[in-house]
Amino acid sequence: MAYPVLNIDLDRIEHNARIIVDLCASHGVGVSGVTKAVCGHPQVAAAMLRGGVTGIADSRLENIQRMRGAGLDAPYMLLRLPSLSRVDEVTAWAGVSLNSEAETLEALSAAALRQGRVHEVVLMVDLGDLREGIWPDRVVDLAKSLMPLAGIRLKGIGTNLACFSGTVPTRSNMRYLAELAAEIERTCAISLDWVSGLNSSGLILMAGGGLPGRINHARIGEAILLGRETTHRKPRPGTYQDAFVLQAEVVELQRKPSAFKGEHGEDAFGGHPHFENHGDILHALVNIGRQDVAVEGITPLAPATVVGASSDYVGLDVSALAGTIRLGDVLSFHLNYAALLAAMTSPYVEKRCFSGRLFDHRIMYA
């Protein structure tokens, strides 16, 4: 087998999805599984659906097209605000989209009418994270303005927190979102299907009983894929954190100084890395680099330490493995969200899906 490889345990993803879906269901919240971190991988999406998510949400039309092209029949939501230049594709491929601009809503309505469709929309409200969303004092007027648009239907309102600026979901901002939903329903004489207040960052609030009852929809990715909430990256009880394991091959194994020699300037990425001087170490290079993964987000399973990286290599101190590690051995790594996103996006990392125990996640290296 050629490396690097990202091993994807579909059973663990399905299990995590079921744990999260059951938790949310106990609080009256439905879940759309978010697949953007895995680039819309059809087998991962299918595992989420087997675990009970009611639909799939992704930020890229290309990913939705990939999943539909693989024959995965599910409701699809576009998580990224639609571009005016792509409204015809949005209404053709996604049943629901997130929106904050009146001009885009008008364009979506026209596109849907051209296609003989009714496209559903969720109005996003910015509650302080400064990502997508209209400011709260303007959302009711925006909702009123789209009522005459025949090609679209207001499915709900939502917010996105703990992403752009790290603003956490609280009882207060969730109550505010619920109040805005109620005001839209009164003003527009409609009933909203969704008040979509949660992503993986809101699980602690919900599990602690702090979620207003009107919040009834969540968009969950990381808590299913990596088994963690996203405000403190704490593992969710009952979930696996190792559904994804990255493996790379040792292509150089040399005894070298632990600190650089010579005059010091910027590295290839404009940084100024610092190396502690521990004398000579057993230094390994593996065949992944910054072109493949967010190096700061990988953790070796072996007793090894990442000491640096270039575009093509990650360097590790493997002194603790002296006498056992050999050239050509394969080292395994756990990944955080940033590392998973990069590895899934890299065309140089093979993705290998399996069900069941293909290899022992506890091994230090394979």
Just give the CATH number of 244-354: 2.40.30
What is the chain's mean pLDDT, rounded?
93
- State mean pLDDT over 237-245: 97
Task: Write out the E strands in the chain.
Answer: 5-9, 30-34, 55-58, 76-78, 96-99, 119-124, 152-158, 194-198, 217-220, 244-257, 280-286, 298-300, 305-309, 314-317, 330-335, 350-354
Contacts of 259 (CB under 8 A, 6+ apart): 275, 276, 277, 278
Question: Does this model's pTM top 0.75?
Answer: yes
Q: Is the pLDDT of residue 251 over 90?
A: yes
Confidence of residue 334 (pLDDT cuts 50, 70, 90): very high
β 119-124/152-158 pair status: parallel
Task: Examine residue 212 and say whether the peptide bond preceding it is cis (omega within 30 degrees of 0).
Answer: no
Q: Does domain 9-225 have CATH number 3.40.1110.10?
A: no
Q: Quick one: pLDDT at residue 131?
A: 87
pLDDT at residue 360 tops 90: no
Residue 319: which pLDDT band, with cuts at 50, 70 and 90? Answer: very high
Catalytic-role residue among 36, 144, 155, 234 = 36
Q: Give, in degrees to the nearest 5, the angle at Cα 44 between 313 and 57.
A: 105
> Cα separation of 145 and 81, whole Å?
18
pLDDT tens per residue, range 196-208: 999 999 999 999 9
Residues 112/91, Cβ–Cβ less than 8 Å: yes
Q: Which amino acid is at 100?
A: S
Is the separation of the CB atoms in 239 and 20 below 8 Å?
yes
As a whole number of angstroms, the distance between CA 84 and CA 81 comes to: 9
**What is the residue extent of each domain of the chain?**
9-225, 244-354
Structure tokens at 211: 């979620």
The arithmetic mean of pLDDT across residues 76-94, rounded, is 98
Give catalytic status of residue 36 as yes or no. Answer: yes
